[in-house]
Amino acid sequence: MGLTFPFNALTANTPPPNLESYSQSSQSMISILGIPYDADSSFLKGTVHGPPVIRNAFRSPSSNTSAENEVEINGHSQIQDEGDLDLGSGQNAREQIESAVRNLVMQDNKVLSLGGDHSITYPILRGYASKHGKINVLQLDAHPDLYDNLNGNRYSHACPFARAFEDGLIGNLLQVGIRTMNTHQRQQAEKFGVDIISAQDFATTVVELAGPVYVSLDLDVLDPAFAPGISHYEPGGLSVRDILSVIHELDVPVIGADIVELNPTRDIQAMTAMVAAKVMKELLAKML
Ligand code: MN
Ligand code: MN
């Protein structure tokens, strides 16, 4: 089965993605932005420690810093590390994240964010909208993250894509690897017109996209056997090679990305940190 993205016709009053805003993307700088934030995690804290741990794994002498296409990532002239945001909490933190991302994209930079929990993607997408308008999003995740609220929190890491749709930030959302769908989130997915390739269907479905895309990679899309350093174990997930293949086979511009939900307090011998660094290298190579 093949799927073409975007699947849903835009309605008459929905502005199309601002294609002109991508015209210089091949020369753009890529900013790596650490977003240490876990205040809206619902089950366990710890993802606040993610960004420096991913950087350490990237620099680990146990591996090298080349992507699989042999592009050297370390010291690349188009990649700069902006360091970590110094965040408050709640609405203040969301405004800080949105503002930082907006400042970078308005300089024509692409942003690869290191989380932090998945709640950060909502303010990141708000920052992107300042320049790009509605954008298409590829979400790799065990969870749909479409709750209207979780335990009364509308900004939970279980809700970012509901908030993003309500603010008109997303053109089309394709979710890959989902394996926790429930009745409420199914209703939300139908309301927002979300396209889903479940973990069950992944092996028999080709991930095809059209148009520039933002990639939001929740590490729990992976089977916990590959990535135990996360908060929510959901067995039956994808392999590291599955995810790398999705990234490698993207034949559309990647205008931004985030890698979220690394929880170093749950990791074993930094093996999930090494996975995060690996997918960071491959995403950066794809974004160049
Ligand atoms: Mn998520
Ligand atoms: Mn998840």
Alpha carbon distance 271, 245 (integer Å): 19
Does residue 187 lie in a domain region?
yes
| Confidence at 28, pLDDT banded by 50, 70, 90 | confident
- Reading the block at residue 218, the tokens are 């929740």
Whole-number percent of the chain with pLDDT over 90: 88
Q: What is the pLDDT of residue 159?
A: 98
| Confidence at 1, pLDDT banded by 50, 70, 90 | very low
Ligand 1 geometric centre to CA of 61 (Å):
30
Does residue 40 lie in a domain region?
yes
Does residue 258 lie in a domain region?
yes
**Per-residue pLDDT for 52 more than 60?**
yes
Q: What is the pLDDT of residue 180?
A: 98
- State the average pLDDT over residues 171-185: 97
Comparing 54 with 207, the larger pLDDT belongs to: 54
Does residue 215 lie in a domain region?
yes
Residue where the block lists tokens 């949105």 = 98
**Per-residue pLDDT for 242 more than 70?**
yes
Ligand 2 geometric centre to CA of 4 (Å):
24
For residue 118, give the H/E element and its range. Answer: none
**Per-residue pLDDT for 2 more than 80?**
no
Other beta carbons within 10 angstroms of residue 89's beta carbon come to 10
Alpha carbon distance 159, 133 (integer Å): 21
Nearest CA among 35, 160, 161 for reference residue 97: 35
| Confidence at 269, pLDDT banded by 50, 70, 90 | very high
On average, the pLDDT of the chain sits at 92
**What CATH number is given to the structural domain containing 236?**
3.40.800.10
Alpha carbon distance 21, 8 (integer Å): 22
Q: Which ligand is nearest to the CA of 216?
A: 1
- Reading the block at residue 128, the tokens are 């992107």
Nearest CA among 228, 271, 225 for reference residue 53: 271
Q: What is the pLDDT of residue 5?
A: 37
**Per-residue pLDDT for 218 more than 90?**
yes
Per DSSP, what are the bridge partners of residue 198? 178
| Confidence at 26, pLDDT banded by 50, 70, 90 | low
Angle between helices 50-59 and 271-287 (to 10 degrees): 80
- State the average pLDDT over residues 107-114: 98
Ligand 1 geometric centre to CA of 119 (Å):
8
- State the average pLDDT over residues 109-113: 98
Does residue 22 lie in a domain region?
no
Q: What is the pLDDT of residue 47?
A: 98
| Confidence at 227, pLDDT banded by 50, 70, 90 | very high
Comparing 223 with 209, the larger pLDDT belongs to: 223
Q: Which ligand is nearest to the CA of 220?
A: 2
Ligand 1 geometric centre to CA of 146 (Å):
9
What pTM was computed for the model? 0.92
**Per-residue pLDDT for 3 more than 80?**
no
Alpha carbon distance 251, 24 (integer Å): 17
- State the average pLDDT over residues 247-271: 97
Does residue 261 lie in a domain region?
yes
Tell me which residue range forms the domain holding 239.
3-15+28-287
Q: What is the pLDDT of residue 206?
A: 86
What backbone phi and psi angles, to 5 degrees, belong to 263?
-115, 95
Ligand 1 geometric centre to CA of 219 (Å):
8
Number of folded domains in the chain? Answer: 1
Ligand 2 geometric centre to CA of 24 (Å):
32
- Reading the block at residue 13, the tokens are 């009053």
Does residue 21 lie in a domain region?
no
Ligand 2 geometric centre to CA of 142 (Å):
5
Rounded to the nearest angstrom, the gap between the alpha carbon of residue 90 and the centroid of all alpha carbons in its chain is: 20
Vertex 228, ends 83 and 214: CA angle to 5°?
50
Please write the tens of the pLDDT for every residue from 4-25: 333 333 333 344 455 555 554 5
Q: What is the pLDDT of residue 17?
A: 52
Does residue 64 lie in a domain region?
yes
Residue where the block lists tokens 């293949």 = 245
- State the average pLDDT over residues 178-202: 98
Cβ contacts of residue 123 below 8 Å, gap of 6+?
A: 93, 94, 95, 97, 98, 101
